[in-house]
Structure 1
């Protein structure tokens, strides 16, 4: 462990970390520069970009990934929760190889999609019928479209700071590329204010779309009181309540909704549910989902060449039936809860103002915030420079996580590796103490 001098500045320390990163990753830099010739900023997925240039990964095995410069990392982000099974899980790999042997792009119905649908419906009691898509983004777009068609209303309520895919992002109030719905923004975890908004706009509200825990918004859990109040208010005004459980579905075998006993009208899923393949799903009560029954003369259309692609169907079924059993879900949740408690205890012991928020196997760190964190507005004064230093320092220590400080455990990250992460966090706090908020 090196020592940061007491008179060092945070900006200078970060500049040194950037220089160290550049020296250690020349091939990643070359990959980035070449990519810039064909993609804007060398990038086709904004989330993965970070300065001075993004790390280029070449392989993954178990709970670890390796970059093009030959560095190995314990994978603490798990493809932003999609890689719940780690890399090359034997059950999923076997299922994919078997599907490959039978042929791709068959252009018809198969038995795999029905098996996966039945398993999803069994796991999520609020999902009586389900349809598949290619991503969580598509799933949320389809769920909102379903609600608008069913209610004949146009307004869509979301939460400030919410993220429902690349076309529905509400950090800072919204994105210029958002789908052009008539949005009503609520404040996350504000029971009184949100209920008042629902009541005031009830006759025009088609749906309320909410994450049981803000993912991209900083791993901020919704309180049971908040979700319960939104459920009751949605029922009173006749709006469709949609839980975006693309991330939080991993909190138990039946998602966060099962843990809380709060049933939405519709649920959206994605990421790991497809076994790590491109996947999304939207489902809900029978009356709503029956609108897509093609046997009806008034059926709503829902196409998608790859909705039932054989790889996602096979991988998803293998993952849910063989690897992510209810017992495995409970164990992963408990491991994540224990890890977050240890990380927060270490920050307190070091006298550093840093909080890890989250639920179960997902967490995010915030520097410089001493008070409670209930909504993205509470993060306005967070120290982003300290966060970037943390990200680079943890890469240096052999841990791969999100640039925004988020982690998402996968099934192949062991208890010993969680302990190693806590040790690295303590090492970081000790080394960088002079420049960290405290």
Structure 2
């Protein structure tokens, strides 16, 4: 099994400019991952782009993983990694939480595809309703994407209006993504009004201007794929007031941020939306999504709006979800994880500040993203060519040191990650900042 090396050892300080550094990092990556490259070449023969999930693709080819245990991964080339990607927040419980494995095995033993309701879904619904302030009634889906689609459908039916206000750089699923400029052909053709994140005055003005046609305002309390950029509390409060005044449904997409407390960011901030969407980790790593909210809106699904989905209440997700939320990720555990993430980000930013660079990590709690411009960052902006190159360099250098992050530089802590693992991350970030000091932006 190849041993990871410190960033400084891999770099050898051979490069004097950013383009050369990225090229060398790519060359080293290719040389170290022949099996991943071969698998990618085979995959391209049967899947466009060689994958079936775009976020996992990066040049020259993605690392293919073979197995996971706890908070560790092994790739098809036999290299081991500390997993800090955390399946983009869905891998909250790590790869081998025994209680979840036992629940899934027990459910398997009772039979699959029963084509019927069951006690497990009622129990899981009760857990969710009991934890999130906005959720009086809830329904399940297979993903956060579906949850957001159904929440928007409910808002449009409830208000009798058609348009949706969303935010540039926001992401609400595979068919609800909003680039910083232009549009994405995959996004559903609802009429959208676009606003800038954390812009109180501009967003409130747009809500008032379009109030007669806006059914919903949908927002992540922290942009996830948009760079782990938190919404300011006063901004969310202003949205709550403006939507209430105009009779517009306020939707909090807490697919990622629900992990920030026992009741998500809405409970932490004391701001209650009309509808909440959920997903990712909630079924213990099984496919899952949910949308819920006030009884008057959700009551539309009691006969007026049909909501189908063969696997909405599949027995594996229901069984794992009851254990995940009911026995493992309690509100107390959520608070501990939040504090651990806050301490991690403060530690990393302290290291970087001490080294005189404006590189830093944005985020809240157990989520963070590497940034290569001065902070605090309030809204996403198109990255410069230099920022994109530094992000790629950071990814490859940290990967070479044996730590697996999202390609975009995002960290999502899982419960098995402890102080020893965070020490290792801090050392790797410090080593990167020292080895690449000449290339990083200076304070």
Give the TM-score range, shorter chain.
over 0.9
Partner of 1:230: 239
1:425 to 429, 432, 438: 429
Residues of 2 paired with 1:31 and 1:147: CA distance?
44
Partner of 2:441: 437
Partner of 1:83: 91
Is 1:373 aligned with 2:377?
yes
Q: Would you say the 8 A contact 2:134–2:275 is kept in 1?
A: yes
Partner of 2:342: 337
Q: Report Cα offsets for 1:34-88 as digits up to 9, x if no partner.
A: 0000001101100011111000001111011111011111110100000000112
- After TM superposition, list the pairs within 5 Å mapping 1:187-336 onto structure 2: 187-294=196-303, 299-336=304-341
Deviation of 1:109 after TM superposition, in Å, equals 0.6
Residues of 2 paired with 1:378 and 1:27: CA distance?
34
Deviation of 1:379 after TM superposition, in Å, equals 5.2
Deviation of 1:435 after TM superposition, in Å, equals 2.0
Residues of 1 paired with 2:301 and 2:337: CA distance?
35
Is 1:161 aligned with 2:169?
yes
Q: Would you say the 8 A contact 1:99–1:310 is kept in 2?
A: yes
Q: Tell me the SS of whatever aligns to 2:250.
A: strand
Q: Tell me the SS of whatever aligns to 1:203.
A: coil
Partner of 2:5: none
Q: Tell me the SS of whatever aligns to 1:373.
A: coil
Residues of 1 paired with 2:385 and 2:21: CA distance?
20
Q: Report Cα offsets for 1:91-119 as digits up to 9, x if no partner.
A: 11110010010011111011110000000
Residues of 1 paired with 2:17 and 2:356: CA distance?
18
Q: Would you say the 8 A contact 2:148–2:277 is kept in 1?
A: yes
Residues of 2 paired with 1:382 and 1:301: CA distance?
49
Is 1:73 aligned with 2:81?
yes
Q: Would you say the 8 A contact 2:275–2:291 is kept in 1?
A: yes
Residues of 2 paired with 1:252 and 1:370: CA distance?
28
Residues of 1 paired with 2:413 and 2:312: CA distance?
27
Residues of 2 paired with 1:230 and 1:382: CA distance?
35
Residues of 1 paired with 2:384 and 2:318: CA distance?
41
Partner of 1:120: 128
Deviation of 1:321 after TM superposition, in Å, equals 1.1
Deviation of 1:432 after TM superposition, in Å, equals 1.2
Q: Report Cα offsets for 1:260-309 as digits up to 9, x if no partner.
A: 00000000000011111111000000000011113xxxx21000000000
Is 1:13 aligned with 2:21?
yes
Partner of 2:3: none
Partner of 1:60: 68
Structure 1 length-normalised TM: 0.97
Residues of 1 paired with 2:14 and 2:281: CA distance?
45
Partner of 2:418: 414
Deviation of 1:391 after TM superposition, in Å, equals 0.2
Q: Would you say the 8 A contact 2:180–2:381 is kept in 1?
A: no
Structure 2: runs of 5+ lacking an equivalent: 1-7
Is 1:46 aligned with 2:51?
no
Give the number of aligned pairs: 433
Residues of 2 paired with 1:101 and 1:22: CA distance?
43
Which moved further from structure 2: 107-116 or 6-15? 6-15
2:113 to 105, 110, 114: 105
Deviation of 1:172 after TM superposition, in Å, equals 2.0
Residues of 2 paired with 1:236 and 1:4: CA distance?
61
Structure 1: runs of 5+ lacking an equivalent: none
Q: Would you say the 8 A contact 1:171–1:217 is kept in 2?
A: no
Q: Tell me the SS of whatever aligns to 1:207.
A: strand
Partner of 2:395: 391
Q: Report Cα offsets for 1:315-336 as digits up to 9, x if no partner.
A: 1110011110111100000000
Q: Tell me the SS of whatever aligns to 2:81.
A: strand
Residues of 1 paired with 2:313 and 2:145: CA distance?
16
Deviation of 1:341 after TM superposition, in Å, equals 0.6
Q: Report Cα offsets for 1:306-361 as digits up to 9, x if no partner.
A: 00000000111100111101111000000000000111111111112212100000
Residues of 1 paired with 2:325 and 2:385: CA distance?
40
Residues of 2 paired with 1:378 and 1:21: CA distance?
26
